[in-house]
């Protein structure tokens, strides 16, 4: 990526391409273990240009995280709202994760789950940001499952919070399994097995035939 310079100072560069490159690097290596030298090499800019454009390594990470959410994070509030049923939501979420976590040419697993696993004290803000995102996703899922109980889709004895925690745990495990080399078919099998847990709580009138 070639910078356009004027009077010896960076004038402009392809910001979108730089964010994409940073996203892939943070996704593959994690925040803490990605060095400034690796970032500047991947982005094709000098350290001074990186700081001028993004403020800091952490500022660049937040831009990269937003880009990941736009392009690769399938689970969001829009997905929750659009799902015709809680079961359809969980099915799409798990199968989508199995596919996304094993897409050829992209880092394996989920950036939101894996990018801050080795953060130290100096990176606690990044760790907190990712943890808050995971907790928010889990809370959205719990609300949808609670609505499914109220609508009669799930039995009255179902535990929305417990089910949401279970599926969040499954997703995190699938992400680690993908990073460890599990293939798509293996993760799809995990998705089917996890969905059977929800099926045990589907109200009789709503059970699949």
Q: CATH for 74-204, among 3.40.50.150, 3.40.50.300, 1.10.3720.10, 1.10.357.10? A: 1.10.357.10
pLDDT band at 2 (very low <50, low <70, confident <90, very high): very low
Q: How many CB atoms lie within 10 A of CB 133?
A: 15
Q: What does the pLDDT look like over 140-178, one tens digit per residue?
A: 999 999 999 999 999 999 999 999 999 999 999 999 999
The DSSP code sequence of 167-179 is HHHHHHHHHHHHH
* Listed residue (27, 28, 169, 178) closest to 98, CA to CA: 178
Domain ranges of the chain: 10-68, 74-204
Find out whether 184 and 102 touch, Cβ atoms under 8 Å. Answer: yes
Q: Spelled out in words, what is the top-level CATH class assigned to the domain 10-68?
A: mainly alpha
pTM recorded for the entire structure: 0.86
* Residue 77: predicted pLDDT: 72
């Amino acid at each position: 990526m070639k910078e356009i310079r004027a009077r010896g100072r960076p004038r402009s560069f392809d910001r979108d391409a730089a964010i994409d490159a940073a996203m892939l690097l943070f996704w593959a290596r994690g925040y803490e273990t990605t060095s400034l030298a690796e970032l500047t090499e991947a982005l094709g800019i000098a350290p001074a240009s990186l700081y001028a454009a993004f403020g800091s390594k952490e500022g660049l990470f937040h831009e990269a995280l937003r880009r990941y959410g736009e392009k690769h994070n399938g689970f969001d509030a829009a997905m929750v709202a659009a799902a015709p049923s809680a079961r359809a939501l969980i099915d799409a979420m798990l199968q989508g994760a199995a596919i996304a976590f094993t897409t050829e040419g992209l880092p394996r697993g989920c950036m939101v789950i894996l990018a801050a696993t080795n953060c130290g004290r100096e990176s606690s803000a990044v760790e907190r940001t990712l943890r808050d995102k995971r907790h928010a996703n889990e809370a959205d899922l719990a609300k949808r499952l609670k609505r499914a109980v109220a609508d009669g889709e799930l039995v009255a004895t179902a535990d929305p919070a417990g089910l949401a925690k279970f599926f969040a745990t499954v997703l995190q495990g699938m992400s680690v399994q993908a990073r460890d080399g599990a293939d798509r078919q293996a993760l799809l099998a995990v998705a089917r097995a996890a969905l059977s847990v929800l099926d045990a709580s589907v109200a009789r009138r709503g059970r699949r035939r």
